[in-house]
Structure 1
């Protein structure tokens, strides 16, 4: 009976936001997830970012319908007092339900087969060219093929990381380790840790690790006051070295992207050999060791050190295209300071993302991530469906007066460079920082 229900206020719910006491609300029912976060497949960060809040929209975005049955064991017996759903959230949930009934989350097409075949072809061509040819230009072509192989394998690793690729959990984990650790040398555990946090706290300067690149880059003058990264648990110090690098970041952006892969290798090792709890640590380390066996061996098969260095440089230069794409989706979008909130899921995703417009025949090149907003709203949706739902998302944004930004690859580069240049010029003249910070507090624009 309605009269026998027990209620708590939103203020009471907000008190349960510590690691030792974590409650969340989903559709007005309150759940104690304190013990669950220790084994949550997506890690503890996404849950902690929404601890003490209603997390319905984020839960719907990330979980299939089969996940709802596991919530009952976590139910506290309390309901959220005065639980209300905004018109935007109601529309979002309705849309998610319609997509689910249409089977869009399960219809994966033949993308996986095509991509796996392409990756295998590129890897075979690279090994064959290095081992069976003495021609310098063939070797450089092989380096480029390896770089493209890494790009496509990373897209597959991304798909499997979101559980949108294989039909079972076991096969999906195999695809994660194969495409992440073995082929690219980047731990899927590291990806899982950072990427889920990025989705939940999209473009929060202190909660989203994908925007925290000091001392090299700063997309906002808010970084000039040395923000504390909630994700990393340390201060992002804006010192003299940071000011120097940031002052010229619009010039160094593309060169840094060439070597961006080195940072990913370092981050992988820092996590896997840290004291932090890592799911499948041994499996991840084993995969990384296999990568650092076959990749150095391949390089060692080249005839001299000049070719070896140029081979690595060529492969890294090609992967810069992917690193650039990742930043185009967010660097020039709106930013904010503070924790994400569960009641503005749709708004935060539209504000913090930029789509890249391209013809359908280029979808393979972008791996589905050109539909960045669509992916952020429905991260479980296979990439082959994102182009189909894009017009629907655009209409919903128009209905609710929210931005839907879709730029050409060239225009997205221009917007990103302008963002970096604006922050660079502000970093050179720190006397303008208070005014800039006040302006940003009002406008929250990156």
Structure 2
């Protein structure tokens, strides 16, 4: 009797209807201390979970009070695994009369984008070609071997050292693109990155209006690429990447990163001594950092993003970034990040398939009148300077006249 009673109670709990919510109610829960979001019309309270989110609070918190379905699909490879963590967070669902999209977002764009994603899945574009990455790894090892041979054969004079530094910077840049396939920089802590950004990139008139004068921003197009990149990888990312790996317990990535330092010092301490090897390493990181900054900022910094906060996933990625024309050199030089639009739309797609999905993205843009921006490599790089100069002039005007 007791057993049957328990079964009856469980059945009653299972059959109990879910709570339903309107978008008006959901949108109220978009605060730092009170966050709800919607995935596949299900409503989740992520207030406490967001601090433990592997991708960081910033990514998941951005969608508080909104539909996060497409972002959820974009960033998670194993959906069944992730949904196990979501069950305790489920508090209800959208009321039947509520649309799936919030704040007047275009439902047709969303529907067509999801059809595009399904087509990409059917084309197996989310599956990696292991031979591609093995060849890339071999490419990196060959360059490291060439670098060692230059010093071994020609000695540690200035000319062999500089040539070797460029070879090793190239190998590390390619290794960086390889690592980029397995993670995105958005996982890094927001506060530390903002500290760097505030010092060297203004981006908003508010710095001028508030009379913030850290540096002469009207000259930032002249000094940023001499000051910013040296701070980025040698001083900031080396520390931040290692601490992030440790905090997230990414022991395989940490072992891979440490293996580079071990190989480097074992190889070059005999030629330069300990202090010389440290200086040599930081010069290589300086060169690598310049490469990284030019490649990443030519797709992002140059975009004139307005302050409209609520867009569907597809439109928001198209307005935030642009592509660089495809060529063998551009693909190699940028680690396929010349397809930055496709990388943003499908962050878990292996980079060797981004060019295959690009025609589908262009077609969808043409259908809905969304601008698909693509530039030559040289123009994209020059646009970084133009953008810094323009934003610096806006800062100066606001500083002097507001």
Q: Same fold (TM over 0.5)?
A: yes
Aligned to 1:254: 225
| Conserved 8 A contact 2:303-2:321 | yes
5 Å-filtered alignment, 1:78-117, equals: 78-81=92-95, 82-85=98-101, 86-108=107-129, 110-117=131-138
Q: CA contact under 8 A between 2:202 and 2:391: conserved in structure 1?
A: yes
After superposition, residues 68-217 of structure 1 pair within 5 angstroms as 69-70=83-84, 73-74=87-88, 76-81=90-95, 82-85=98-101, 86-108=107-129, 110-131=131-152, 133-134=154-155, 136=157, 137-161=159-183, 191=185, 193-194=187-188, 209=193, 213-217=197-201
Alpha-carbon distance change, 257 to 149 in structure 1, aligned in 2, over 3 angstroms: farther
Segment drifting more, 22-31 vs 100-109? 100-109
Aligned-residue Cα RMSD (Å) equals 3.6
Following superposition, the deviation at residue 412 of structure 1 comes to 0.8
Q: Which residue of 2 aligns with 1:327?
A: 297
Aligned residues: 377
Q: Distance in 1 between matches of 2:84 and 2:236?
A: 35
Q: Give the match for residue 10 of structure 2.
A: none
How far, CA to CA, are the matches of 1:225 and 1:285 in structure 2?
43
Q: Deviation digits for residues 418-440 of structure 1, max 9, x if unmatched?
A: 11111222333445665xxxxxx
Give yes or no for the alignment of 1:369 onto 2:337: yes
Cα distance per residue 1:38-77 (max 9 Å; x no partner):
5433233211221232111111211236337436624635
Which one has a larger percent helix, Structure 1 or Structure 2? Answer: 2
The 1:131–1:433 alpha-carbon spacing in structure 2 relative to 1, beyond 3 Å, is farther
In structure 1, runs of 5+ residues without a counterpart are: 163-190, 198-206, 227-237, 435-446
> Deviation string for 1:391-440 (max 9, x for gaps)?
22112112222221111111112222111111222333445665xxxxxx
Label 1:71 to 1:283 Cα distance change in 2 as closer, same or farther (>3 A): closer
Residue ranges of structure 2 left out of the alignment (5+ in a row): 1-14, 102-106
Normalising by the residue count of structure 1, what TM-score does the alignment of the two structures yield?
Answer: 0.73
Q: Which SS does the other structure have where 1:335 is aligned? A: coil
Deviation at 1:158, TM superposition (A): 0.6
Deviation at 1:252, TM superposition (A): 1.8
Q: CA deviation at 1:132?
A: 5.1
TM-score normalised over the length of structure 2: 0.80
* CA–CA separation in structure 2 for the residues paired with 1:135 and 1:208: 37
CA contact (8 A) 1:221 1:433 kept: no
**Larger Rg over CA atoms:** 2
